[in-house]
Amino acid sequence: AGTMKANAEAVKSFDKAGMAAFLKKTAADYYARREEEITKLNIDMRELERNILLRAVDNRWMDHIDAMDQLREGIGLRAYAQRNPVMEYKVESYDMFDEMTRLIQEDTIRTLFQLRIQQPQERTAVARVTSQSSAQQQPKKTNQPIRTKPGEKVGRNSPCPCGSGKKYKHCHGRQGNQE
């Protein structure tokens, strides 16, 4: 709390350049601490940065392509305003590209600063215990002949009375159809 109060007092005395330098130093210090935390978890920080950057580029690039299609469709209206559509397209597309790169950088930095890494919970032990307990509770099925009453007709989709586990139509029912 004491350092926060001291920082608040120091911030009040900064001019614009001093404030920018203070914020850059604070952000760099925070990022260095984050990098240490992530490295302690045996995660390669550069690989993580690469993955986050690629995800941001992928998302923003798709948005940029859609925006460029919309610009191409609407650029013809600039000719009615006595403006060169080709020059307008160049200027607008350059501005859109700059905006996209700025948003990619912003998304990447925001994600890296707000990233929360959770260790995966061990679930294998729980699954093993559950599978053992269920195996003990249910006896294994054996292929025993199914008893039917004499004179009762077996349905085509019913289990075959021989105990093979197949449907009657694929087992002994097939023999009856060939006759």
Confidence band, pLDDT 50/70/90 cuts, at residue 93: very high
Give per-residue pLDDT as tens, 134-175: 555 555 555 666 666 677 788 888 888 887 888 888 888 776
Is 141 among the domain residues?
no
Q: What is the 3-state secondary structure (H, E, C) of 122-137?
A: CCHHHHHHHHHHHHHH
State which of 64, 81, 116 marks the end of a domain. Answer: 116
Task: Indicate whether 38 and 52 sit together in one domain.
Answer: no
Domain housing 32: 1-43
Q: Name residue, tokens 């002994």.
A: 172
Is 154 among the domain residues?
no
The proportion of the chain whose per-residue pLDDT surpasses 90, expressed as a percent, equals 35
**Which value, to the nearest 10 degrees, does the dihedral of the CA atoms of residues 164, 169, 175, 179 take?**
160
**Residue 8 has what pLDDT?**
72
**Cα separations in angstroms, 17 against 6, 40, 135:** 19, 35, 71
Task: Indicate whether 49 and 104 sit together in one domain.
Answer: yes
Confidence band, pLDDT 50/70/90 cuts, at residue 176: low
